[in-house]
Every structure is written in C-alpha cells, then in structure tokens.
Structure 1
Amino acid sequence: MAATTTSAAAAEFARRQHSPLQRVQHQLHGRPWLSPLFLLFVAFLAFFIATPTFLTANSMGILLQQTAVVAALAVGQTLVILTAGIDLSVGAIMVLSMMVMASLSRDGGMPGILALLIGIVLATAAGALNGFLVTRINLPPFIVTLGTLSIFTAIALLYSGGESIQANHLPDLLNFLGDGFSLFGISLTWGIVVVILIYLVVGFVLAQTAWGRYVYAVGDDRESARLSGVASKRVLLAVYTLAGFIYGLAAWVLIGRAGAATPNAVPDANLQSITAVVIGGTSLFGGRGRLIGTAIGALIVQTLQFGLSQMGVDQQWRVLATGILVIVAVAVDQWIRKVKA
C-alpha cells in the first residue's frame, strides 16, 4: 500500500514538473479529438465573422448534408488507418457499388431492396479483396489499394458505360436517404441519420468489444499483438471487409444526396476521407484515434470547403487550404507521439 502511495506521489510530482506545453501534449495524447474540436470552433467563428449567413439554419443544413458522404467513408478509412494501413480505393468502391445498385434497379429492372443488397455485398467483397491481398499475399496496403483504385474505377466505368442514372429512373428505396425532415429549423436527410447510426455502432464496437481492442493492438504493434495471442491477419481481414461494407452504405447515402448515380461522383473522396481521419486525430502510424475525432475532422473538411465557397474563394485555393491542413495535422500527430511520461 505504501509503495502504491509513493508511486502515485512520484507521478503527481513528475506531472507538476511539466511545462504548460508538455501538459497540452499529454492532454492531446490522451484525447486526440480535442485539437480538431478547437479547430472546428475557430473555423465556425472565422466564417461567421467573414460571412454572417454561414451560421443560418439553411447553411447548417446544407453543410451537414454535404458532410454525410465523406463522414461515412471516413469511418471505414479510420478502421484501416487504426491498423497502420491506408485505403486509397474508398471512393472507387463506393462508386462501383452505387452504379451496380442503380443499373440493376433502373426503370424497374430489379426490386430496389435486392439491388441495394447486391451493391452492399459487392462493396463488402471489394473490401475483403483488399484485406486478402494485404494479409495473405503480404502486399503493402498503399500498393494494394492504389491498384484496386484503378481496377474498381475502370469496372464502374465499363459497367455503366460512363452514363449517369437520374433519380426518376431509380426505385424509391434508393432515393429514400435523400428525403428530408426539419429539426430546429435545420433541414436534415435520412442519410445523415444513417451516418450517425454507423458512427454509434462502429464507435461502440471499437470502444467496448474485444475485437475493437485487437484493432488498436494490431495498429500499435502487429508483431507484439501476434505474440500476445491476437490473430492479427484475421483482424486485418475483418477490418478491410467491414470498411467495404461501410463504403456500400455510403454509396446508398450518396445516391440520395446527389439525386442520381454517376460514375464521376466525388472525385476527391479518397483525399477528403484521409484528410478527415488525420485532422480528427487518428495517427497515420496506427493504434491511436477515436471516431468522434473523425466526425469532427469530416466537419472541418466540409466547413472549410463550404465557408470558403460562401466567401467566393476559388476551388484551387480551397484545395490548397486542405493540403496545408493535412500537413499541419500530421506534424501535430508526430509531436503528440513524442509525449513523455
């Protein structure tokens, strides 16, 4: 008992010796979502000052609707990055799934529920293929997903013939997530509700289940996790497969949001999803991060785009701002990882 008291006293003494900057570093290490939350607050304040229409109910509704698709993709991307991997095929899998759903059900060709299930199963299989190549063929995630990015994009274009399918040619089920309702004067869609449910379910799994702990363990040190009895390859395969399933749901959300299925939808989905995850505090080196940070990161990405758009800033400058944010976020992550007890 005395030893425990002495140890606690020593830890408290060490904590008091830290400089204010070191204390901030410790806080961010334990709660990586704090810095993006502060950044989101600053962004909202800055855009409100620059353009007073930014914080209107109408603008907030549009912002949330625009965030939904990227936020959904970012959940799958978070799972992969937590294992120290990266997925460059997120957008391609989503678009392929979307085009298959839409093409199969076009003008009553197939019942909407069946087309939806086939599209989600296809996306899940695509994710599983990524996982198989990473775990069984032992290829680097970057190389695997770079290759499947091209493969899935080409298949989507060939299958659809490069043609878009408008909402009036699709069954009500596929368009359903674009339907809306009002909450406190803010126009929301059922797609936003689905994305929130994805965050709640996956967040619970990561935080409260053994599998979630295995994901963090594999990302922190795969070899140590294996020596501790964790089936690292199975965990990785499950991560990529679950990510694919989530991309399939994102495809459904996208159809509702866009009011059409087009093979050229969201061309920068990969960059935006990675940006949201990194800005949200998830480490590119794996093993650290929370979905709450990813949600905040997705909001930051879209807030930046939406706010600069309202200010009349050209697209090139918006892309530049996003790139700077990514570099700053990774630099902060490197600094946080150097925390000392």
Structure 2
Amino acid sequence: MTATTAPARRRETLGEFFLRAPAAGPALALVVAMIVFSVSTDRFLELDNLSLMVNQALVVGTLALGQTLIILTAGIDLSNASAMVLATLIMAKLFAGGTPGVLALVLGVLVTVGIGLVIGSLVTKIKLPPFIVTLGFFTMLTAGDKLVAGGQAVPVTEHGALTWLGTQRYLFGGIPVTYGMTVALLMYLGVWYALTRTAWGKHVYAVGDNAEAARLSGIKVNRTVVSVYVVAGVVFGIAAWQALGRIPNADPNAFQLGNLQSITAVVLGGTSLFGGRGSVLGTMVGALIVTVLQSGLSQLGVDSLYQDLATGALVIAAVAVDRLARRQR
C-alpha cells in the first residue's frame, strides 16, 4: 500500500489577503505616512499635534461612519454634511431661544433621523437611485441651511450640553483627550459590533453584495435599507454635536465639502463603492489618512491645492484597487 499525501495548501496571494482584510492596506498606508512625516518634520509626533489631528478628523470621521453603512448597501449619501449643518443650526437657534441644551440636542438629532427616513423611503418605495435622491436633498438642504440661519452664523455662547464634547481632559497626566474623541470611539465600536455580531449587520452586507439574492434568501431588503439610512441619520446628528463641540458656532457655510470628504474617508478605508465589502475600522483609518496627509503636507509647506491633488489621486487609486480585487474574486 502506498501512503496518500495530503494536497499542498495553496498559498494566499497578496490580492486575496487584501480582499479578505480590506482595512489592512489603508492601515499600512497610514503607518507609512506617519513614518515619512515624522522623519521629514520636527513636531509631527508631538502629543499636542497628534491630538489636534484626531480632533480635526472627528466630524468628518463621524460623517464617514454613517456614510459607511449606506455605501455597504451599495448606496451613497451626498446630503449628509448639509443635514448635519442644519442640525447644528437648529440646536443653536433653539438653545439661543431658551430651549434647554439637552432638548435642543435631541431635536437636532431627530431632524437628521427624519431626513434619513425620508431618503430611505424614497430609495426603497419609489426605487429612486440613492445618488439622485441625495443630490436633490443636498441642494435643498444647502439652501435650507441658509434660510434657517438668515444669512449669519449662530454662536453658542454658554458652555453646556451642546459644547460638552469639546471639553478636554489629560489622560495619564499628559495626553490631551476630548469627550468627543471618546464618544466617536464608542460609536465606532458600537457600529462595528452591530455589523459583525448581529443578524442586522449580516443583512446589511448581504443586501449590498446582491440585493436580489438577499431577497430570495428571506431578507427584508427594503426594511434593511431604510434602517441603514435611519441609523446613519442618528450618526449625522451626533456629528452635528461633534461640530458644536469643536467650534461653538453654527455656520450655514461650514463643511461644504463634508459629503465628499466623508466619501473619501470611506473609500480610502477600503470599503467598496459597489457595496457588500468594507469595515468601520477601515473608515476610521481612512479618516485619519486624510487628516495626516493634510497636516503633514501643511507642516512641509505644501500648498493646499496640491494637498487636494494628492487626496484625489489616492481616492482614484483606492477605487481602482477595489475594482481589480473584485475582478480577481
């Protein structure tokens, strides 16, 4: 009798690894960028500068978290930043009019949730493309922001619930940390758990990968998509809270490119624009990549226009890599 030998295990290719772990590539790019800027600048790795970069990434990173959920279902939201700005204006104006800060905060979040519910309903019930629906909402909300503000910013003059996330403490006696950072981290952990450990998360990925196959397997596709837009609405409302914590001034002209910046963070984090693949960890890394790139290039004296060119090139490269990875799969 001859002994049978087990078939040799095929080695995983680099492309298959990055397909299985889409956040690995962005994480590697972030590490490389930090090493390069730490060597080429004097104060890049100082604690104050690192804290500042994280603070700068908070609002866009929170917007990108909600955007990730929507893109995972093969959708997109071009109106998220405009909805967030509207929420900041409503919170600030209500507070200025005598409404308690906590109530103003809740009402502002309810506004973004309501917008998400309407968008999700239009996408699922009337079958309108998410791009068209959110483009229309982007236009309407941008005009609505200016109408609500009356052409001027609304300051939050008293420290309280609306500005609480901007409160800074020192961790271990020397690391500057704001409550906003803690809330953002808890949000990312919560969404990560929902996507990876619950049936709802599996349904989100299934709908984004193949909506028809998900429907045939018993998943309520429309209900899942609407729930995603509603949850994203909650996230965008908290992003408004983050924005007031950073700068206690509701400005109708703020975050005009927030929608594109959030999409950039999602794409750089390895989430596929075609749906069904990606992670919130990757999105967090993507938001940090954008901030690290801008901070590092600014310290090197590079003009902001060239910073935008570099970011745009990274986005195109990230989408191209995702396309090639899907072809290989």
1:67 aligns with 2:38: no
User: Sequence identity, in percent?
Assistant: 49
- Dislocated runs of 4+, deviation >3 Å: none
1:176 aligns with 2:179: no
CA distances 1:24-64 after superposition (whole Å, capped 9, x unpaired): 11110110000000000111011112212111011001001
Q: 2:186 and 2:154 mapped to 1: Cα distance?
A: 28
Which residue of the partner structure matches residue 310 of structure 2? Answer: 321
The answer to which of 297-306 and 308-317 deviates more is: 308-317
Q: 1:272 aligns with which of 261, 267, 273?
A: 261
Partner letter of residue 277 of structure 1?
A: V
Q: 2:75 aligns with which of 77, 85, 88?
A: 85
Q: 1:212 aligns with which of 201, 220, 236?
A: 201
Q: 1:186 and 1:338 mapped to 2: Cα distance?
A: 45
Which residue of the partner structure matches residue 153 of structure 2? Answer: 164
Query: Is residue 72–residue 272 contact of structure 2 (8 Å, CA) maintained in 1?
Result: yes
Which residue of the partner structure matches residue 27 of structure 2? Answer: 37
**Pairwise CA distance, 1:90:** 1.0
Which residue of the partner structure matches residue 289 of structure 2? Answer: 300
**Pairwise CA distance, 1:142:** 0.5
Partner letter of residue 57 of structure 1?
A: L
Alignment of 1:165-314 (within 5 A): 165-168=154-157, 170=158, 172-184=160-172, 185-314=174-303
Partner letter of residue 273 of structure 2?
A: L
TM-score, length basis structure 2: 0.96
CA distances 1:223-263 after superposition (whole Å, capped 9, x unpaired): 00001100001100000111111000000000011231111
Which residue of the partner structure matches residue 325 of structure 2? Answer: 336
Which residue of the partner structure matches residue 42 of structure 2? Answer: 52
Query: Is residue 51–residue 176 contact of structure 2 (8 Å, CA) maintained in 1?
Result: yes
Which residue of the partner structure matches residue 131 of structure 1? Answer: 120
Partner SS for 2:328: coil
Partner SS for 1:153: helix
1:27 aligns with 2:8: no
Partner SS for 2:170: strand
The answer to which of 182-191 and 316-325 deviates more is: 182-191
CA distances 1:149-186 after superposition (whole Å, capped 9, x unpaired): 01111111101112112231x45110111110112523
Structure with more helix by fraction? 1
Q: 2:132 and 2:325 mapped to 1: Cα distance?
A: 28
Q: How well do the aligned residues superpose, as a CA RMSD in angstroms? A: 1.5
Query: Is residue 92–residue 156 contact of structure 2 (8 Å, CA) maintained in 1?
Result: no
Q: 1:306 and 1:61 mapped to 2: Cα distance?
A: 12
Unaligned runs of 5+ in 1: none
CA distances 1:271-317 after superposition (whole Å, capped 9, x unpaired): 11001111101111110111111100010011111111112211111
Partner SS for 2:229: helix
Query: Is residue 166–residue 261 contact of structure 1 (8 Å, CA) maintained in 2?
Result: yes
